[in-house]
Structure 1
């Protein structure tokens, strides 16, 4: 509803005292008050109705109007029952703050005016009733789109389109995800066109696991009726999301215990296969295991369930160990692309991780009969991902065919001890003498011990390089012409590069 709709209603007879030129201002609700400072009860966009019981002079008018403007209300409707008219100092305060103000005739009650606004602002309960009666997401979106006169979608902050009434252009999807990550909703995302982002109430953490509504249009152009429809849509999507989450939890519980027993040796692959069938996954098909950690088991499980849904593959997710694990079942061609697909999804989700680090490990393709090995493989890959630099990292099993898997599985205390035994004296020497022996050693090893290539990369003479390597050998007591010494230093330098500060 627009302010102009109220001014044009002959049954109301509202008298504009200031701001008649702001008739296109949306009215998104109504609030009746005689408090001199009602800001705590206002959300913005309301028409405030006041009988002016608070008014004793110009100072009161200034305080009251300043509070309304600070709260972002649409306009003030001043009653005339107490004073007979709107005081001039109130009108002047509204003029100073550029707040539209109208006078309500004595013959029109506040209840009549409020009912008129509320009927326009919240005319729809059919949407809520339909979902309560069993309507699914597609039906709810179609109903809302018909009422809004605009196409509607539900998006996950993990990047996938949960549902929609039309194709959503890729640039619009990306703009919506960027906008969701940067601020509070509702708000407008703009790409080639404008789309309103509307919140879906959720306590899911991190925000990358949440959903939101997207609809064609610009929020600042919406009237109260559209706001009411979007509010109802957000409510029913939250209800439908709760149903989805419960189904996911039930499926996860059916395999969680079996996976735990499989890892501790008290269960058999056949038992797990039966549990997979119960969860709706064909146990005879190829599968891949995925392990994920964001620092908390519950948050990891919530996020992995959402990421798994974004892949479109059949999957089941359960908490396992200090993170979460998902099993994906599909044909081998699709499973072969799972790690690449997860990388794209994780990139979409990264802005909504709220400061958390995300590590994902992916096993090779296997069968349920070899599931224990796949779970362990995914766990090793996840630990390697935790050692790599980056806020959100996905590591596939193929990357485990190197020394990195050994480093990733080494306890932190042993890593620290090994690194310090080999490098501590060199680091201390560099600090005291402002030299560059550690970097020289790293470059020398990266060049496979080639004097000429290393000198060229460091931009020094070969004799200078030989002197530096000699100093390294003298300080450490190691002979760098021996292959085992080179391996030891290479591993120590890798530990120095991949170990987070403080470990």
Structure 2
């Protein structure tokens, strides 16, 4: 590394130290060397450069002013070159450097400034070569750690061989992936995850307490920020070499995160296929036990289904809910199949020893820690005696969750506890539901297909807004007269008057039955 101390150690330069400057000045990294005879070189000298001068500025300014200008530029120090006209370094320059704490070296008349430049170039070349060799060796070690399955912990172990830094890896769901020399609390991991959710993510986060500020090195897979390599030091306390090493490690961690995401994507696809198998009824029931075994769930005993979602107002599941649910059951040492949908997360597992409501309450507490301020609900289905009998509990669980999302206060309930019309519909087989729904809705759909009239959409909105004409028309962005004409056509096609409660019940149940039949 180029420093005044390394230049002093080169005997060919014949340098002599006159003023050491402030503590550590000689060992501080120097940017480059700058030859100048200007009385005020501050506009041209970069911070960290070593100023080379023969003192020709003495005819235009004093040593004190020249030194102050050099100091103002943030130079690393001054090398004064002796010449025949100036066989000794001016005492005024020595005194000024002493006063300002600026290092001052003297070079003999036998050595030109070009020798200093050549020495600086050689040091720079050695530094770059060493950095490149170190990066290649570190890259080989990181690649070996990843390829041998050491994971994120192996990456941190490679880093710790070179730099004794407190490190941790945290993903965007606030899960700890690895740590070395640092243990983050759940709250600190949450602060890191919140930082990763910002656009763009910050360079540092305040972890509060004794930890203070920590530097984040982003770990991405497929273009997104999925995790962070966290160094429990602010970036200002990290050397350039440490920052480069951490940045390189973060890139290798991206490979590990991408691998984990690929595995999770495969598991999620298989889990979603399992739900399709269950909902298909007897047609694919024989395939369900083998798929459960693939996830470690024993299909021979009683099975239960829990469906989790955020309450009304959060129309879709947040990223990380499926992972949070899966992690909860794994922490409970329960084998589980977790499938995340657009609006809920379904968990299928063998009936646990713990009472099901108690387990659901514990799950909600775990979700609340991960998503503070969000209200979640859990719907429960009745236990299934066999894997082939899971269809009804799955429908019940999802319907219970759907009802709970609309109700205030209650967060956990089984389907039978809710006392809703969906309970009656859920007792019917798919064919019965389909026949009833089609008998009412097919005429509307045929008319919509021919005329693009949006009758079914209008009916859903009208029932959603409790038959209020103004509110329904506003929601559909149509005039009230247009709404009345559409409702009249619905009455004509279905034989059910949208103004009568009895007929409205038929229309509403048809829509609900259609949704249930589709699973």
Range class of TM-score, shorter chain: 0.5 to 0.7
The 1:140–1:97 alpha-carbon spacing in structure 2 relative to 1, beyond 3 Å, is same
CA distance in 1 between partners of 2:256 and 2:24 (Å) = 38
Q: Structure 1 stretch 160-169 or stretch 221-230: which is displaced more?
A: 160-169
CA distance in 2 between partners of 1:394 and 1:218 (Å) = 45
Tell me if 1:148 matches 2:163.
yes
CA contact (8 A) 1:7 1:15 kept: no
Unaligned 5+ runs, structure 2: 80-112, 196-200, 427-458, 473-519
- CA deviation after TM superposition for structure 1 residue 234, in Å: 2.1
Unaligned 5+ runs, structure 1: 28-45, 66-74, 425-503
Rg bigger for which structure? 2
Deviations 1:105-162, CA, capped at 9 Å, x for gaps: 3113557416516735955332233213432333333443454334543333433333
Aligned length: 370
3-state SS, counterpart of residue 241 of structure 1: helix
Which residue matches 2:290?
274
Match of 2:244 among 202, 225, 228: 228
CA contact (8 A) 1:255 1:318 kept: yes
- CA deviation after TM superposition for structure 1 residue 233, in Å: 3.3
- CA deviation after TM superposition for structure 1 residue 249, in Å: 1.7
Which residue matches 2:349?
329
The 1:22–1:278 alpha-carbon spacing in structure 2 relative to 1, beyond 3 Å, is farther
Answer 1 or 2: higher relative contact order, Cα 8 Å, separation at least 6.
1
Tell me if 1:174 matches 2:172.
no
- CA deviation after TM superposition for structure 1 residue 174, in Å: 0.8
Question: Aligned runs of 1:16-415 on 2, under 5 Å?
Answer: 75-77=47-49, 105-108=116-119, 110=121, 112-113=123-124, 115-116=126-127, 119=130, 123=135, 124-125=138-139, 126-165=141-180, 168=183, 170=185, 173-182=186-195, 184-194=202-212, 196-202=214-220, 210-265=226-281, 267-284=283-300, 286-292=303-309, 300=317, 303-311=320-328, 313=330, 314-318=335-339, 320=341, 322-323=342-343, 325-329=345-349, 331-333=352-354, 337-350=358-371, 361-364=378-381, 366-367=383-384, 368-384=387-403, 386-387=405-406, 395-398=411-414, 401-402=417-418, 413-414=461-462
Deviations 1:449-483, CA, capped at 9 Å, x for gaps: xxxxxxxxxxxxxxxxxxxxxxxxxxxxxxxxxxx
CA contact (8 A) 2:339 2:345 kept: yes
3-state SS, counterpart of residue 397 of structure 1: strand
Give the TM-score taking structure 2 as reference length. 0.53
Which residue matches 2:198?
none
CA distance in 2 between partners of 1:339 and 1:110 (Å) = 67
Give the TM-score taking structure 1 as reference length. 0.54
3-state SS, counterpart of residue 214 of structure 2: strand
3-state SS, counterpart of residue 333 of structure 1: coil
CA contact (8 A) 2:309 2:377 kept: yes
Deviations 1:57-95, CA, capped at 9 Å, x for gaps: 999985996xxxxxxxxx544798xxx99xx99998885
CA distance in 2 between partners of 1:332 and 1:365 (Å) = 15
